[in-house]
């Protein structure tokens, strides 16, 4: 068997073209451009690079981008004041706080200050709770939203399937598990302390991996014909690698999201979709 590689590059390009058209129509109708404000606190280079990538992503679809950079010496009160201001600004539709932030600051406290409607990262407790209860509207973190969209576009059947999600983060593992549960999968969340993790993975019809360990999942962990979503982005001397060993997994699975070119591009597209959704909610649409 040779797995079908799901092309995130192509799908994200299609979605971003649709978002660009929709954003332009929104601007024409309401006289305001969907706007994303990105808050960076501290001097972390990875966060700075991510901010530049988001800015480029915004420009590609006609979303306005606001950069707000605070220094290492920023106090909790100063950071909170900025987040409050952005959350109350009617011309700002989405607010993101990039990680990591400067040492000594409490990220959770700052996240709680974001208007849930503007929480395009999907990390506010209100959005997490509404996703858990499946009570829309709510913001879904972009990475799992993109992974799910790839499966839907590929025609994957969810109802009654056994899904295993390896990883329990608030922005990938847990929301992905809930998205699959809401589509009538039987879902197990696994992690680094799971007993016999390879055996559990072999039981999955749909296997989603988000652990941040390069090529941890091997072909003999895969149920023949399973659908595998690899959320891994691990930078190694050999280049960007996923959490799955792609060659061996592709020999067993029926579908696989490759790295690079799989869920990564889709994350970019779904973040822009969230900004547009936030703008529409603010406009009463």
Is the four-CA dihedral 112, 44, 211, 104 of positive or negative sign? negative
Antiparallel, parallel or unpaired: β 35-41 and 94-97: parallel
In terms of C-beta density within 10 A (0-12 exposed, 13-18 middle, 19 or more buried), how is residue 224 classed?
A: exposed
pLDDT of residue 133 exceeding 90, the answer is yes
Average pLDDT over residues 188-192: 95
**What average pLDDT does the segment 244-256 reach?**
98
Q: How many CB atoms lie within 10 A of CB 25?
A: 10
What does the pLDDT read at residue 1? 63
Buried/exposed code over 93-109 (b: 16+ C-beta within 10 A; e: otherwise): bbbbbbbebbeebeeee
Across all residues in the chain, what is the average pLDDT? 97
Q: Which domains are assigned to the chain? A: 27-117 (3.40.50.10860), 141-265 (3.40.50.720)
Could you tell me the CA-to-CA distances from 70 to 11, 40, 53, 217 in Å, in that order? 35, 6, 18, 39
| One-character DSSP codes across 87-106 | HH-TT--EEEE-SSPPTT--
Region 232-241 average pLDDT: 94
Give the alpha-carbon dihedral of 13, 15, 20, 25, to 10 degrees: 160
The answer on pLDDT for 135 being more than 90 is: yes
């Amino acid at each position: 068997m040779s797995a079908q590689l799901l092309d995130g590059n192509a799908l994200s390009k299609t979605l971003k073209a649709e978002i660009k058209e929709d954003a332009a129509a929104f601007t024409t109708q309401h006289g305001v451009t969907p706007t994303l404000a990105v808050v960076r606190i501290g001097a972390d280079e990875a966060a700075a690079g991510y901010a530049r990538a988001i800015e480029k992503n915004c420009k590609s679809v006609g979303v306005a981008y606001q950069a707000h950079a605070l220094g290492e010496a920023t106090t909790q009160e100063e950071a909170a004041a900025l987040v409050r201001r952005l959350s109350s600004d009617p011309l700002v539709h989405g607010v993101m706080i990039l990680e990591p932030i400067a040492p000594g600051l409490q990220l959770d406290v700052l996240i709680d200050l974001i208007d849930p409607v503007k929480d395009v990262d999907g990390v506010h407790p209100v959005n997490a709770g509404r996703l858990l209860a499946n009570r829309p509207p709510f913001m879904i973190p972009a990475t799992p939203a993109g992974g799910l969209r790839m499966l839907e576009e590929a025609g994957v059947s969810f109802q009654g399937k056994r899904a295993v999600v390896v990883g329990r983060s608030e922005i990938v593992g847990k929301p992905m598990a809930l998205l699959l549960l809401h589509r009538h999968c039987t879902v197990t969340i696994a992690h680094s302390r799971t007993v016999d993790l390879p055996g559990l993975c072999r039981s999955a019809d749909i296997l989603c991996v988000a652990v941040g360990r390069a090529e941890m999942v091997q072909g003999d962990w895969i149920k023949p014909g399973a659908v595998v979503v690899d959320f891994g982005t691990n930078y190694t001397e050999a280049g960007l690698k996923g959490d799955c060993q792609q060659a061996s997994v592709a020999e067993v699975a029926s579908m696989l999201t490759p790295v690079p070119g799989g869920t990564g591009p889709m994350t970019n597209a779904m973040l822009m979709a969230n900004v547009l959704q936030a703008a529409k909610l603010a406009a009463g649409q």
